[in-house]
Amino acid sequence: MNREQARQRATELVDQMDLSEMISQLRYDAPAIERLNIPEYNWWNEGLHGVARAGTATSFPQSIGLGATFDKELMKEVGDVVSTEARAKYNEFSKHEDRDIYKGLTYWSPNINLFRDPRWGRGQETYGEDPVLIKDMAIPFIEGLQGDGDGYKVAACAKHFAVHSGPEALRHSFDAKANKKDLFETYLPQFEACVKEGKVEAVMGAYNRVNGDPACAHDYLMNDILRGEWGFEGHYVSDCWALRDFHENHRVTKTIEDSAALALKTGCDLNCGCTYLALEKAVKSGKVSKDYVRESAIRLFTVRFMLGLFDGSEYDDIPYEKVECPEHLKVAARASAECVVMLKNDGILPLSKDKAKKIGVIGPNADSRKAPVGNYHGTSSINVTLIDGIRAAFPDSQILYSEGTDIFEEKPDNLARPYNRLSEAKIVTEHSDVVFLCLGLDENLEGEEGDTGNQFASGDKIDLRYPEVQCRLMDEVLATAKEKGVPVVLLSMTGSAMDMSVADRDANAILQVWYPGAGGAKEVGEILSGKIDPSGKLPVTVYKTTSDLPEFTDYSMKGRTYRYIETTPLYPFGYGLTYSDIKLTEADVVSGGSFEKASDEGMVIKVKAENFSDIKGTQVVQVYVKNEDSNETLHPHLAAFERITVDPKSTSEVEIKVPAWSFTTVDDEGVRAVRGSKAKVFVGCGQPDDRTKELLDLKIFEFNI
């Protein structure tokens, strides 16, 4: 059922309701209306990287890891797996009349906020720090979720609209200040693309204010931009209990009735929370018209009809056996393999068997089942820890293990003295041929406000350092290894960029494995052994120190991300090593070879890549654009990318389409347009900067148009 048909049916149904019944349907936990044969429905579901909080499901790498794959085709497959398992669960839950939370078909994913500051705990839920990367990963994911028919397989939701990326501790009262250039150059493009190109059904507002107005009642953003300029036809949902903040924290209203009226009049259709319980009183007191209630109810029932909740759907026959089935696990394994980013390798990797007779595995994340899944996760029946993955990849090696320390703070084993495991870690290092040092965080140390109970500011990091006990462990292991001549490989399991300066100086290799999914450590082990060639690229900048960052609460983009950074990063956005030796040998402009044509029709570039190694490998070809004579980002910005796989001692070609949008710029008034008359276009396997060339020894093709 298409939107026009669904809206007609929704209108007919809503017009049979009285005011109280209509209002009841604007809550996330909408009750049944028995006289109209409307069952209860709970709108709240999560599916960032697999169906979450609804029992067993296929576990994918956390979103930041998916961003590191730079794989658009994979993202559609991931979305399709999530929606298939969502339908399989819904079909069975509804047969059992179980319509509780996390069991519906409206999924509050993906999170397309920009990861502007690596201290933000929820940055792990995003695809990275670049609008083009975010939109190009989010759109196919949304398509996989919503399906290819007129109706929806599940309904996706782009969140959190729009200027939102911490700090978590202040989010209920914080006012994010963004000028118009930053707004339309950085914070809004991915939302616009997901609305216009991805046809996402829902948009969720953020907790914070944006330039003074609450994001869930922001007339300019919600009406002038979202529904006006972009033509959004779907429904708008509040973040959970965000409307309560209007009167309790933001103080833009005085009463709960005022908050409910303000949100509804501005266009917030669905309330995750309880504020809309006050809507009937607000209507009867004249604070908001019944017409607004009716319109929001129609929008919400339009979705329910498009999902086939009343007339049936082509997806009603998806069986429960699709949940965590073999073909879905294969997609998850592929994602886990592609997400790992090799940041340093002096030649120790892949680890040969003659150097792996005794392998030391050290660190608090070595045997953790919590860390690999990140936050907003489901339950997996397959859990592989890093030590499991290493043991499976090196079955003939002796594994020497030491936890070394707790992940966060050393806990005493008794009241008399602390339990210090550093001695054991040093002993393991001394007796090993190689050490895999498994450090990092987990969902308790970085995540969302309210989900954590530690020193890290309600889910955010206070700086870029590993927890102090882990820093001490790393220092001891690296010092012992240096003394004994033992190579050390750092496996960093986090959802964000860390300060890796010590490891960059003293470790032999570094792998950023993110949160690779419940079973993803198997693929990490296979990368270490050389069975899999690493192909992930950094979706974020790895800064040298926290001092390189502006104040966390400053939403200006000056000095932030690879586009505006004013210092030299430790590892740049788009960077990642491989075992294979793939180089771009030719790059030619097929069409759009002048600025006029490129800015009007876009550009097509054909690239030839040659693999000089004996290893089948994959590279990510990246295109960056720099407008030469207008108000533009400080550095060239990502315009397009494609993955290319090349057999050993072979060549392969790929065409990359660079959209005309890439040649526009945003002025200080927020107006995006074609300006100037010339641009530079760079093609390579990384950024066109000195740091990338130095680290990767890359040839960057440059076209002046």
Query: CB within 8 A of 522, min separation 6: which ones?
Result: 333, 336, 384, 388, 389, 392
**Alpha-carbon distances of 187 from 193, 225, 266, rounded to whole Å:** 12, 13, 21
Q: Which helix (H) or strand (E) holds 209?
A: strand 209-210
Tokens of 449: 């406000």
Distance CA 705, CA 700 (A): 16
Of 117, 118, 169, give the one whose Cα is nearest residue 448.
169
Fill in the amino acid letter for 596. Answer: E
Residues belonging to the chain: 705
Tell me which residue has tokens 């509040």.
238
CA atoms within 13 A on the CB side of 564: 19
Give backbone dihedrals phi and psi of 445, rounded to 5 degrees, phi first. Answer: -105, -25
DSSP secondary structure of 344-378:
EESS--SPPGGG-SEEEEESTTTT-SSGGG-SS--
Residue 18 bears catalytic tag: no
Q: Which two tokens stand for residue 73?
A: 């085709």
Question: Of the candidates 634, 620, 510, which has an alpha carbon nearest to the alpha carbon of residue 570?
Answer: 510
Are 625 and 671 contacting, i.e. CB atoms less than 8 angstroms apart?
A: no
Amino acid at 474: M
Phi, psi (deg, nearest 5) at residue 305: -70, -40
Q: How far apart are CA 557 and CA 410, in angstroms?
A: 38
Give the CA-trace dihedral at 592, 596, 599, 602, to 10 degrees.
-10
* Residue among 80, 239, 269, 533 flagged as catalytic: 239
> Residue 541 and residue 176: Cα distance in Å, rounded?
22
Token pair, residue 685, equals 């396997």
- Give the separation between CA 213 and CA 235, rounded to whole angstroms: 20
Structure letter (DSSP) for residue 526: H
Residue 81 to residue 49: CA distance in whole angstroms: 10
Question: Is the N-terminal amide bond of 350 cis, ω within 30° of 0?
Answer: yes
Do 598 and 592 meet the contact criterion of CB atoms below 8 Å apart? Answer: yes
DSSP 3-state of 37: coil
Q: Which helix (H) or strand (E) holds 475?
A: helix 468-484
φ/ψ region of 514 (left if φ > 0, alpha if ψ in -120 to 50, else beta) reads left
Paired residues of 46 in beta bridges: 52
Nearest CA to 370 out of 460, 443, 438, 467 is that of: 443
Let me know: does 509 contact 490? Beta carbons within 8 Å.
Answer: yes
Distance in angstroms (rounded) separating the CA atoms of residues 22 and 33: 10
Q: How far apart are the first and last CA of the chain?
A: 46
Count Cβ atoms below 10 Å from residue 19 Cβ, excluding itself: 14
Strand partners, 435: 360, 488
Long-range contacts of 22-25 (CB under 8 A, 24+ apart): 22/290, 22/293, 22/294, 22/297, 23/276, 23/279, 23/280, 23/283, 23/293, 25/297, 25/300, 25/301
Return the closest-CA partner of residue 148 out of 204, 196, 79. Answer: 79
Nearest Cα neighbor of 89 from 51, 60, 62, 124 is 51
**Residues carrying an active site annotation:** 239
